[in-house]
């Protein structure tokens, strides 16, 4: 009997394909089979690219047969959040306004995956334009949490997180603007990395908030996250804000954590934090200590203002970024409109309520007369939040914190209360404002069997430190992957 490739890591699959132990086609078929079983319940994908996945898998196999060297992700099936441009494929951002929009080019991260011989399985569901924390804001479908179909997978990259958790793909890309990778990773019990701002090119990532957006991977092992970053990261001349430094290579598994200084931010263990999560994070920190790390308390005093500042800055940028959906060049347009004004009104009525809310918030915050009170002040808060981290990272190498204040919640639980939904990202937002590197890894199950996440935060370009701590933790406390 052959191996079940849906239980293997991306690193293991790529190695097996390169060595000829299996074929890319066999791996793709295994995952497509898993999609057939799991997808009717999970509904992670907006589009499954069955034919093109098999076609590109066969191309990888042909390349191997021709004796040509294969890339770092040879034959690895990858799911892409549907806000990443994949040439020739519909890219919707889970919005009616982009229904029918076929990507005219590849995102840089997508191009790099192609060049590494990855195989694209499909486009995954998200909150419309990545705005949300439960994927309930998708215009098209609800994605369920593979651990409990009554609960949300988190968001906005809920489809990518769920696809990896349900073993429909070993690897997926998402984007994280305020926690949209780490929060769903935590909810779905998988690894989710938000790289340092500038680490991965944003070219071809449909913008939500440009100064905060960052592409990152979902995987079931930390090594796979590092592997994915080594492929998609690094400078891109097409993105002026991408950092001019190479992505870190996947290092060897660490033996221990001797010399690693871990900080526990006092402001993160607050009222409203689920006691089971608080306990799980503290237990995880004890594991780090047992591996040789030292632990001390640190302070991030401006964290309490981060959420408010974020909800000025992100909507402000979004109000401008989403203005291009005007019905003139692509996507949805109401052909019955009789005047230019009507074209705009009818077209932009296609946005969902959360997107409209944020466009209005942002438009207001940038308005003449309000700019200084809102946008400019929020930027000053942002500077203070970043300063907190800089100060903390003089004393510690990595900060350990909860990824989310609660375990995965039920559908509809927070949809009527936007602020309650926004609070779901309270622990992840500060890293977006500061632009530093941050990862969420599973650290246990709640009493009701739901995954809980540990967030590790490092300074800018400190991904190697994150990987070291996370890999050591992972091997000390292996997390179960879902059966079925």
Partner 1 sequence: MKQYELVVGLEVHVQLASRTKLFCACPTDGFGAEPNSRICPVCTAQPGSLPVLNRRAVELAYRAALALGGDLAGTSVFARKNYFYPDLPKAYQISQYDQPFCTGARLEIRVKDAAPRTIGITRIHLEEDAGKLLHEVGAIKLDGSLVDFNRAGVPLIEIVSEPQIRASDEAYAYLTALKEVVSAVGASRCDMEKGEMRCDANVSVRPAGSDKFGTRAEIKNLNSFKNVKDAIDYEFRRQVQLLESGGRVVQETRLWSAETAETRSMRSKEEAHDYRYFPDPDLVPLTADAAFVASLKSSLPELPSARRARFSAELGLSAYDAEVLTGSLALADYFEKAAAAAPKGAVKTVANLIGTEFLGKLNSEGVEIDEAPVKAEGVGGLAAMVADGTVSSKLAKDMFAKMWETGADPKTVLAQVGGGQISDDKQVRDWVRQAVAANPKAAEDLKGGKQAAIGALVGAVMKLSKGKANPGLVNKLIKEAVQS
Nearer to partner 1 by Cβ, of 293 and 309: the residue is 309
Q: What distance in Å separates the CA atoms of residue 240 and residue 233, rounded to the nearest whole number?
A: 14
Tokens of 389: 């981290």
Nearer to partner 1 by Cβ, of 291 and 314: the residue is 314
Q: Contact 85/107 with Cβ under 8 angstroms?
A: yes
Verify whether residue 156 is a known catalytic residue: yes
Verify whether residue 242 is a known catalytic residue: no
Tokens of 10: 């991306």
Nearer to partner 1 by Cβ, of 51 and 341: the residue is 341
What is the torsional sign of CA 216, 221, 222, 226?
negative
CA angle 318, 323, 326 (to 5 degrees): 145
The single residue of 56, 157, 180, 440 carrying the catalytic annotation is 180
Pairing of strands 261-265, 294-298: parallel
Which residue do the tokens 């599973």 mark? 442
HSE-CB for 79 with a 13 A CA cutoff: 33
CB of 344 to partner 1, least distance (A): 6
CB of 97 to partner 1, least distance (A): 10
CB of 239 to partner 1, least distance (A): 5
Q: What distance in Å separates the CA atoms of residue 30 and residue 4, rounded to the nearest whole number?
A: 7
The single residue of 9, 23, 56, 81 carrying the catalytic annotation is 81
CB of 195 to partner 1, least distance (A): 17
Q: Contact 76/170 with Cβ under 8 angstroms?
A: yes
Which residues are near partner 1 by CB under 8 A? 83-85, 91, 93, 98, 101, 103-105, 107, 202-207, 209-211, 237-241, 316-317, 319-320, 323-324, 326, 328-330, 340, 344, 363, 366-368, 371, 375
CB of 93 to partner 1, least distance (A): 7
Q: Contact 193/225 with Cβ under 8 angstroms?
A: yes
User: Phi and psi of 402, rounded to 5°?
Assistant: -65, 150
Q: Contact 157/174 with Cβ under 8 angstroms?
A: yes
The set of residues, in sequence order, having a beta carbon less than 8 Å from that of 438 and lying 6+ positions away, is 182, 193, 194, 428, 431, 455, 456, 457, 458, 466
CB of 260 to partner 1, least distance (A): 33
Q: What distance in Å separates the CA atoms of residue 354 and residue 448, rounded to the nearest whole number?
A: 30
The single residue of 56, 95, 156, 424 carrying the catalytic annotation is 156
User: Phi and psi of 307, rounded to 5°?
Assistant: -60, -45
Nearer to partner 1 by Cβ, of 14 and 172: the residue is 172
Verify whether residue 180 is a known catalytic residue: yes
How close are the terminal C-alpha atoms of the chain, in Å? 18
Residue 449: its H or E element: none
* Residue 147 DSSP SS3: coil
Q: What distance in Å separates the CA atoms of residue 415 and residue 431, rounded to the nearest whole number?
A: 25
156: preceding bond cis by omega (within 30 degrees): yes
Nearer to partner 1 by Cβ, of 363 and 415: the residue is 363
CB of 324 to partner 1, least distance (A): 5
Pairing of strands 214-219, 294-298: unpaired
Q: What distance in Å separates the CA atoms of residue 142 and residue 94, rounded to the nearest whole number?
A: 11
CB of 207 to partner 1, least distance (A): 7
Active site residues: 81, 156, 180
């Amino acid at each position: 009997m052959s191996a079940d490739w849906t239980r293997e890591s991306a690193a293991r699959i790529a190695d097996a394909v390169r060595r000829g132990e299996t074929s890319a086609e066999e791996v793709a078929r295994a995952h497509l089979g898993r999609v057939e079983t799991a997808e009717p319940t999970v509904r992670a994908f907006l589009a499954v690219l069955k034919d093109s996945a098999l076609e590109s898998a066969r191309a990888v196999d042909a390349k191997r047969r021709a004796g040509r060297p294969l890339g770092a992700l040879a034959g690895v099936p990858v799911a892409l959040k549907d806000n990443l441009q994949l040439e020739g494929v519909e890219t919707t951002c889970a919005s009616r306004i982009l229904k029918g929009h076929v990507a005219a080019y590849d995102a840089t991260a997508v191009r790099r995956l192609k060049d590494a011989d990855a195989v694209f399985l499909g486009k995954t569901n998200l909150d419309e334009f990545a705005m949300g924390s439960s994927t309930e804001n998708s215009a098209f479908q609800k994605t369920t949490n593979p651990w409990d179909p009554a609960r949300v997978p988190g968001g906005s990259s809920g489809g990518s997180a769920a696809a990896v958790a349900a073993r429909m793909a070993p690897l997926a890309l998402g984007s994280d603007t305020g926690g949209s990778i780490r929060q769903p990773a935590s909810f779905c019990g998988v690894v989710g990395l938000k790289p340092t701002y500038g680490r991965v090119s944003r070219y071809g990532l449909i913008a939500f908030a440009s100064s905060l957006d960052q592409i990152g991977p979902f995987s079931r092992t930390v090594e796979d996250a590092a592997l994915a970053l080594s492929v998609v990261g690094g400078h891109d001349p097409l993105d002026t804000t991408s950092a001019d430094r190479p992505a870190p290579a996947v290092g060897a598994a660490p033996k221990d954590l001797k010399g690693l200084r871990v900080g526990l931010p006092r402001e993160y263990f607050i009222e409203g934090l689920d006691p089971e999560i608080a306990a799980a994070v503290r237990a995880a920190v004890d594991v780090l200590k047992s591996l040789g790390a030292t632990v001390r308390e640190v302070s991030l005093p401006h964290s309490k203002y981060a959420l408010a500042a974020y909800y000025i800055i992100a909507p402000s940028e979004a109000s401008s970024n989403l203005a291009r959906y005007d019905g003139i060049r692509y996507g949805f347009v109401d052909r019955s409109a009789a005047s230019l004004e009507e074209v705009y009104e009818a077209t932009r009525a296609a946005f969902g309520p959360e997107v409209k809310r944020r466009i209005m918030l942002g438009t207001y915050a940038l308005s003449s007369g309000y700019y200084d009170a809102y946008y400019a002040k929020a930027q000053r808060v942002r500077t203070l939040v970043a300063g907190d981290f800089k100060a903390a990272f003089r004393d510690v190498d990595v900060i350990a914190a909860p990824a989310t204040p609660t375990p995965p919640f039920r559908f509809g639980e927070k949809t009527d209360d936007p602020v309650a939904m926004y609070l779901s990202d309270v622990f992840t937002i500060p890293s977006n404002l500061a632009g530093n590197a941050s990862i969420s890894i599973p650290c246990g199950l709640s009493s009701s069997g739901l995954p809980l996440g540990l967030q590790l935060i490092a300074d800018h370009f400190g991904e190697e430190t994150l990987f070291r701590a996370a890999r050591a933790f992972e091997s000390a406390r292996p997390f179960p992957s879902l059966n079925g």
